Structure 1
């Protein structure tokens, strides 16, 4: 088969789907990864063949100064009220409408070439199957135009699918309130009109959904789901010499993600508190943090090795526990190596709030549309700055799952003192019960079909659905 995989140009989007791409490629299928042309080297580094979308000399959509900003809180809550959502449902809606709708919008803009380039490539190459992450919504159109079967790949909880179900249930109420029946359908409509396509449920949900979330963690949706084991992959770098042997004392990894380090400055006071807490413990800490994340740390303790990057799949086998931000890919790495987890999470809502700050500075925990350290740092005087909650988008469901299964604890850096954080880390490293809980999650993970296991199913489904 010929297979196109459409991903947002970010390691956080490419790496989770890489093992599935390898499995298809190893089975003899032709695999092409369609993404922004500037991200092609990262695709090649993962052992895959890129298809460049857009101009390689141009900024990608999310680092443009005219990228879509988050919806304002009053708009988000107006929808939530009409949809009749409870507190947890409101958080799912915020994750979708205020966070995920922005990249979905930017990669199907009519004035940018990504969507048209993707459709044109599919029409010329004629794939049998298109697999797409939820932010690359134009990929379902490319599949429809070229006659290919197509499936979504969920990077974490399926917030779009869950919200599509709620929107469909309340169509009449939304119309009466003067609100869109489906904001993603509205965004897709200009492209659909260009190619004479109807924006139906198949375009929105995919013909099926590949879901790597472990059993008991996924959101329920009406989508047809094909589960797959989330095999962690975090690059193929040279293994540093200090990782060749076993550590002399328990090693704990501290990693706070690849995404926020690119867009925000500081770490809400979280990193200084954690590093102060570990200073007196008889452990070795490997902290994969860059300069932005280390801001506010007066002195790095002697038992902490701070470095900007090391592959988690190289680091995890040497560790006794992991402290992390709750991201899907970071959660998957310790699961695969039977490690207890300390998940950073807070009691805050996910709602981003507009704030007024000096546009020449980046306050701790604030986000500016179109900004990325080292890529797009131009000061725009008129831009709104957004205050982010001090946690990752999926931190709360990740922490809830880990705690519920007895595989670790939740670390609220606002609520816990340095002494309480120190005790928490010490307990997770020493207490066998947390290792037992990690083993239970590992067994659940191992029982899921591997990427290689689902290849025959993908072949069959592609044959049934392609036109």
Structure 2
């Protein structure tokens, strides 16, 4: 069969899909991966076939007309009407403030990219379209070409969860002057352009491929197909210093790839972690760049590498310190490692920055500030033609709290909170994870649960059957 993947133009979204794409291709199916602009080269590096959509030079999130997130006042108003608990509000904010923005950018009727995806599907006639959370145009492409439609989510599904909550209270939302289904409103114009019925299936697919280990995923009414998250971290020559085992316990410090493209200074977290590690008898490999370091000087026991595939470094480590990202968490699970998850426990709700510099003419502090249209190394704030909205980001990865809660509840690691702990306390937490056997036992238990999930190759026959069933009914 022919399988088309619709992918957000970032490696954080591409890499989790690569093992499944290769499993399908290795089983004899034709596979194509479609994404925006110049991202085709990154897809080609995986050995899979890219389909370039639209202008090679254009990037939706790095332009003056990049859409702004929804504001905090309305986000809270929704949460109040929906009757959400404090924990549940975090899932809602993730959907409403973070996911809806790129979904909207990538669905714009006035841009050629979504039309190029749909035209390709009409011409190529795929049997199955697999799309990620930000690429809702994939569902429209599936509908107009007669293909089956499936989403792939990376450990949890805030979209499906939020749609279930919205569907339970449409009258209350309308009475409060709120859109009862903001995702349908965003998808609607492109669906109408192609004469596609705007139903629930169009918003969530006919099934959802769920990579979450039991206990981490969110409850939804969507039809789920479990699949093991197999880490793919890109290809690079293995450095010679990794060939032999380390003489001291090795720790990987990885604070993510995505935030360092948009946030300068890593929320002042990096200097504290480096200081905590400096007095331990360990070897640290830190995948940090100058944006994250922001002037911080690593101690002698820290080896800096801007990027190294995690599946090369993690098998040589005794533990991993990370930012709580789902990809890094899953890679650590696969490597059977205890985890120290950076998490401040604060809300992820985006807020407007209101304070001006105290000194006239002084530069404003960019630590923890997000601006639409800016990406370090691609387009700086000085290149913006308009005064951007400055958003205060939480000093943690969006999914850090669910990830740290999961790790702690399984005895597989601890939480590192640089806002609440001193450097000495951070150091003792790291020491404990390295020396107490219980954390290794907890990591083994989590690893065993991961191994029990069906591998991508095991899921291919399931996808073949489900796709054939859909095609027969159309």
TM-score by length of 1: 0.98
Cα distance in 2, alignment partners of residues 247 and 375 from structure 1: 36
User: Does the alignment pair 1:448 with 2:456?
Assistant: no
Residue number in structure 2 paired with 1:419: 424
The 5 Å alignment of 1:10-409 reads 10-58=10-58, 60-297=59-296, 299-356=297-354, 363-377=366-380, 378-409=383-414
Greater mean deviation of Cα atoms: 48-57 or 170-179: 170-179
Deviates more, 1:444-453 or 1:36-45: 36-45
Shift of 1:173: 1.0
| C-alpha separation in 2, matches of 1:284 and 1:140 | 47
Give the SS at the match of 2:42: helix
Residue 382 of structure 1 deviates from its aligned partner by: 1.8
Q: Deviations over 1:408-430 (max 9, x none)?
A: 00011100100000011011111
| 1:91-110 deviation per Cα after TM superposition (whole angstroms, max 9, x unaligned) | 11111101111111100011
Aligned counterpart, 1:8: 8
**Do the aligned partners of 2:373 and 2:384 also contact (CA within 8 Å) in 1?**
no
Residue 465 of structure 1 deviates from its aligned partner by 1.1
Residues 15-67 of structure 1, C-alpha deviations (whole Å, 9 max, x = no match): 01110001000000000001013101110111110001111122x11111211
| Partner SS state of residue 272, structure 1 | helix
Q: Secondary structure at the match of 1:268?
A: helix
Q: After TM superposition, give the deviation of residue 361 of structure 1 in Å.
A: 5.7
**For the Cα contact (< 8 Å) 2:338–2:443, is it kept in 1?**
yes
Deviation for aligned residue 1:300: 1.3
Distance 1:143 1:84 in 2: 35
- Contact 1:326/1:344, CA 8 A, preserved across alignment: yes
Conserved in 2, the CA contact under 8 Å of 1:37 and 1:55?
A: yes
Q: Distance in 1 between matches of 2:336 and 2:259?
A: 26
Secondary structure of residue in 1 paired with 2:32: strand
Contact between 1:7 and 1:14, CA under 8 Å: does it hold in 2?
A: yes
Deviations 1:337-391 (CA, angstroms, capped at 9, x unpaired): 1100000001211011111457976611101101001112113442111110000
Q: Say if 2:204 and 2:222, in contact at 8 Å, map to a contact too.
A: yes
Partners of 2:269 and 2:247 in 1: CA distance: 27
- Give the drift of 1:156: 3.4
Alignment partners' CA distance in 2, 1:48 and 1:111? 29
1:158 and 1:219 in contact (8 A); partners too = yes
Aligned length: 465
In structure 2, what is the Cα distance between the partners aligned to 1:281 and 1:26? 45
- On the 8 A contact 1:231/1:336 being kept in 2, the answer is yes
Q: Is the 8 A contact 1:208 1:226 kept in 2?
A: yes
Work out whether residues 155 and 213 of structure 2, in 8 Å CA contact, stay in contact via their aligned partners in 1. Answer: no
Distance of aligned partners of 1:362 and 1:70 in 2 relative to their CA distance in 1, 3 Å threshold: farther
SS in 2 for 1:62: coil
- 8 Å Cα contact 1:272-1:296 kept in structure 2: no
- Contact 2:228 2:456 (8 Å CA) reproduced: yes
Partner SS for 2:151: strand
Alignment partners' CA distance in 1, 2:201 and 2:92: 21
Q: Which is worse superposed, 357-366 or 248-257?
A: 357-366
* Partners of 1:157 and 1:394 within 8 A in 2: no
Whole-Å separation in 2 of the counterparts to 1:340 and 1:153: 27
Residue deviations 1:194-243, cap 9 Å, x none?
Answer: 11111111101110000001111100000000000000010011111111
CA contact (8 A) 1:266 1:295 kept: yes
Contact 1:339 1:438 in 2 (8 A): yes
Unaligned runs of 5+ in 1: none
Q: For the Cα contact (< 8 Å) 2:266–2:368, is it kept in 1?
A: yes
Secondary structure at 1:61's aligned position in 2?
A: coil
C-alpha distance in 2 between matches for 1:147 and 1:214: 32
Name the CA distance, whole Å, in 1 between partners of 2:99 and 2:323: 18
Q: Answer yes or no: is the 8 Å Cα contact 1:264–1:362 preserved in 2.
A: no
Q: 4+ runs of 1 displaced by more than 4 Å?
A: 356-362
Q: Tell whether the 8 Å contact from 1:131 to 1:150 is kept in structure 2 after alignment.
A: yes
- After superposition, the C-alpha distances for 1:393-452 in whole angstroms (9 at most, x for unaligned) are 100000000000000000111001000000110111111110000000000000000000
Secondary structure class of the residue paired with 1:300: coil
The alignment yields a C-alpha RMSD, in angstroms, of 1.2
> TM-score, normalised to structure 2's length?
0.96
Structure 2: which 5+ runs fail to align? none
Alpha-carbon distance in structure 2 between the residues aligned to 1:29 and 1:37: 25
